[in-house]
């Protein structure tokens, strides 16, 4: 495409080689005529008019020089970007008037606020408790918030804070965890291993790569099963996996990018090989539908056992990583492309539905363990799907997927837009004209009947219900999809959506020391809804995606980076074919 554009630009010049035509010429001609006209008029003026005109010209000249000076002194991208014109709106905060730069700064301030609370009350611990100003070590005490936040700090150019974090992390001994604690393999790969890898790739501080390798190494025993399917937990102190009979799809299948990158940066292929073996096993396994994988895997045999099929919890990022490994490989590994396309084709056929009450609303539900019954539950976690579809549409030239991506992003945004706080709930339940969306009570217990039973009391306007869990725990998926959709479509509407979400987050979840999960998105009781929890993904993902939404699109470009499922941007491999 670039080549075509260049060819088009060159062709007019080549037809008239002796007269270099460019855009400037007509302008110059106009200026000459204008100047001639001014000169004639000048001598017709009386003295005071000449004086006034001179003064006006002087002022204009100074203004022009000033503008040129500012351009030179502030070589900020924003001066050169066309300004987004936003239609005036009656809005309590008048916030649609803010420029990209102001919005970006507001997100950076939020990051600084979260970091400073963490620094003050929880530094080195896993999480800040943002209401009580205490901390926890619920991930084994490696300081997961700190590690997860590093590359966000770097991207936001908060280098002093980044250096504080690096100084700490280079002293952590990752060969130890809280005694008796079994470290979750997948979580620590996507958060800690990935966070250290990207912090290294950005800063090129070798100590960070050493630490990344240490984390990668202490987690490697997870793969030590008879099939090669990883165990879900590792006893880091003992150096062995914790025995288990099954593991879920997302836990086994969302570690590949990280171990691949570790192999690439260390030159040791063993990491990538162990992770790749998992993909090969699952690729060959029998499935209820082509490309759709039940969420449970038997670790001994490597077979997919029963379980729901879902693009939400426990399934989600397995599908995401098919596409992302294909992108990471410089689009060379066709296995991932095939697997991704199989999955998306089946998902579209079996799992996507349209609301019967709002033509614009589409959603992705779940399938039960028989893979026949459909559940109309749409999870916040599943809101990563539109971003994935948009990225896949661009990468694999699948235009229909972009249409669906826009429809699903709309639903995800409405899940925020239609609540009392403007925050989005953990999930919603769509109703249909027959049973109002509630599953028959004799339904298999694959689905959370409690969720469904409590649903009908809180119907919202667009034909879905809120369920039992109405919390917003600072999750990133909707912001993630909005950012990707903006970058791929260029539609500024997505910036407005992202800004609206950011404002709701600031308004309802900001505490004196950080940001807190909110118990009920339909309640405006503010402080009393805070549940005193700030997961590391708020700093790693939610704020990063919002910041990138308001940044120039070539800043951490989707053509150069692939974001792991925790929003850590990995530099894409350069394939020989493309260079
Ligand atoms: C919004 O802008 C209008 C006029 O531009 C102003 O009168 C009003 O006070 C502003 N409201 C807030 C909440 O800032
Ligand atoms: C927590 O810290 C913030 C800021 O340092 C302070 O304003 C707030 O009162 C503290 N809360 C508690 C419960 O100590
Ligand atoms: C791997 O498993 C074998 C037997 O299943 C065991 O003997 C060995 O110690 C394990 N190694 C690690 C690093 O866990
Ligand atoms: C958000 O919801 C309000 C009604 O609560 C509606 O007027 C508005 O158009 C919605 N915004 C968008 C962007 O859909």
**Where do the domains of the chain lie?**
3-24+42-73
pLDDT interval class at 543 (50, 70, 90) = very high
Q: Which ligand sits nearest to residue 422's alpha carbon?
A: 4
Beta bridge partners of 364: 352
Atom of ligand 1 nearest to the CA of 92: 13
Over residues 227-241, the mean pLDDT reads 98
The pLDDT of residue 10:
34
What is the distance between the alpha carbons of residues 411 and 423, in angstroms, rounded to a whole number? 13
Nearest CA to ligand 1 atom 8: 94
Tell me the average pLDDT across 98-118: 96
- The beta strand positions in 450-574, using DSSP E, are 464-466, 561-563, 569-571
Query: Please, are residues 566 and 537 in contact by the beta-carbon 8 Å criterion?
Result: yes
132 CB within 6 A, ligand 1: no
pLDDT at site 108: 98
Kind of pairing between the strands at 183-184 and 134-136: unpaired
- Provide the pLDDT for residue 433: 58
Task: Compute, in degrees rounded to 10, the torsion defined by CA atoms 217, 558, 506, 537.
Answer: -10
Structure tokens belonging to residue 116: 């400073």
Nearest to 443 by CA among 425, 457, 429: 429
- Does the beta carbon of 16 lie inside 6 Å of ligand 1? no
Q: Within 13 Å and on the Cβ side, how many CA atoms surround 291? A: 22
Token pair 């990209």 in the structure block, residue = 100
pLDDT at 100 over 80: yes
If you average pLDDT over residues 157-171, what whole number do you get?
98
Which residues are CB-neighbours of 132 under 8 A, at least 6 positions away? Answer: 532
Query: Which residue's alpha carbon is nearest to atom 2 within ligand 3?
Result: 224
- Residue bearing the bigger pLDDT, 12 or 549: 549
Q: State percent of the chain over pLDDT 90.
A: 71
Average pLDDT over residues 110-119: 98
User: Tens digit of pLDDT for each residue in 433-478?
Assistant: 554 544 444 444 444 444 454 554 455 556 777 777 889 999 999 9
193-208 confidence digits (pLDDT tens): 999 999 999 999 999 9
Residue range 310-318: mean pLDDT, rounded? 96
Q: What mean pLDDT is predicted for residues 61-88?
A: 49
Helix (H) or strand (E) segment spanning residue 136? strand 134-136
Q: What rounded mean pLDDT belongs to the chain?
A: 85
Partner residues linked to 353 by β-bridges: 363
The answer to whether 323 touches 336, Cβ cutoff 8 Å, is yes
User: Mean pLDDT, to the nearest integer, of 495-516?
Assistant: 98
Query: In whole angstroms, how far apart are CA 155 and each of 322, 555, 556?
Result: 26, 9, 8
Task: Evaluate whether 122 touches 134 at the Cβ level (below 8 Å).
Answer: yes
Cα 348–Cα 351–Cα 353 angle in degrees, nearest 5: 85
Instruction: Say what the pTM is.
Output: 0.81
- Check pocket membership of 315 for ligand 3, CB cut-off 6 A: no
Query: What is the three-state SS of 408-428?
Result: HHHHHHHHHHCCCCCCCCCEE
């Amino acid at each position: 495409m670039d080549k075509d554009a260049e060819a088009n630009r060159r062709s007019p010049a080549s037809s008239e080689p002796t007269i270099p035509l460019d855009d400037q010429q007509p302008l110059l001609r106009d200026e000459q005529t204008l100047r001639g006209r001014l000169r004639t008029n000048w001598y017709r003026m009386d003295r005071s008019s000449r004086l006034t005109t001179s003064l006006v010209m002087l002022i204009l000249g100074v203004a022009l020089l000033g503008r040129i000076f500012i351009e030179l002194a502030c070589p900020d991208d924003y001066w050169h970007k066309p300004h987004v014109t936003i239609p005036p709106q009656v809005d309590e905060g008048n916030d649609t008037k803010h420029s990209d730069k102001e919005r970006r700064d507001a997100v950076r301030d939020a990051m600084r606020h979260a970091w400073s609370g963490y620094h003050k009350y929880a530094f080195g611990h896993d999480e800040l408790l943002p209401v009580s100003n205490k901390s926890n070590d619920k991930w084994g005490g490696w300081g997961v918030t700190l590690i997860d936040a590093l590359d966000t700090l770097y991207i936001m150019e908060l280098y002093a804070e980044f250096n504080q974090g690096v100084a700490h992390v280079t002293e952590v001994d990752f060969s130890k965890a809280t005694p008796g604690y079994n470290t979750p393999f997948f979580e620590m790969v996507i958060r800690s291993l990935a966070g250290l890898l990207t912090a290294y790739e950005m800063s090129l501080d070798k100590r960070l790569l050493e630490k990344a390798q240490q984390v990668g190494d202490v987690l490697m025993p997870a793969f030590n099963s008879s099939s090669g399917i990883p165990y879900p937990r590792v006893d880091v102190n003992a150096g062995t996996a914790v025995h288990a009979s099954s593991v879920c799809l997302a836990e086994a299948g969302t570690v590949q990018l990280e171990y691949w990158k570790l192999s690439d940066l260390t030159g040791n292929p063993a990491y990538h090989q162990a992770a790749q073996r998992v993909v090969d096993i699952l690729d060959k396994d029998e499935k209820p539908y082509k490309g759709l994988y039940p969420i449970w895997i038997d670790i001994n045999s490597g077979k997919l056992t029963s379980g729901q099929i879902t693009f939400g919890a426990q399934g989600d990022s397995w599908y995401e990583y098919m596409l992302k490994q294909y992108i990471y490989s410089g689009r060379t590994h066709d296995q991932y492309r095939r697997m991704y396309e199989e999955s998306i084709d089946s998902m579209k056929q079996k799992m996507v539905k349209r609301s019967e009450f709002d033509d614009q609303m589409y959603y992705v539900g779940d399938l039960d363990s028989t893979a026949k019954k459909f559940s109309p539950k749409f999870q916040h976690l599943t809101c990563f799907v539109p971003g994935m579809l948009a990225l896949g549409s661009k990468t694999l030239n699948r235009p229909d997927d972009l249409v669906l991506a826009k429809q699903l992003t709309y639903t995800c945004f409405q899940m925020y837009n239609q609540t009392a706080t403007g925050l989005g709930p953990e999930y919603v339940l769509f109703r249909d004209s027959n049973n109002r969306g509630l599953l028959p009570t004799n339904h298999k217990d694959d689905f959370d009947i409690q969720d469904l039973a409590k649903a009908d009391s809180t119907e919202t306007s667009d034909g879905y219900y809120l369920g039992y869990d109405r919390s917003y725990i600072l999750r990133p998926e909707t912001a993630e999809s909005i950012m990707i959709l903006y970058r791929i479509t260029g539609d500024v509407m997505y910036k407005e959506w992202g800004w609206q979400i950011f404002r709701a987050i600031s308004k309802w979840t900001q505490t004196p020391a950080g940001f807190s999960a909110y118990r009920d998105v339909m309640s405006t009781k503010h402080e009393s809804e805070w549940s005193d929890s700030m997961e590391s993904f708020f700093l790693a993902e939610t704020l990063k995606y919002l910041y990138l939404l308001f940044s120039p699109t070539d800043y951490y470009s989707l053509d150069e980076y692939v974001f792991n499922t925790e929003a850590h941007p990995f530099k894409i491999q350069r394939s020989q074919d493309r260079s």
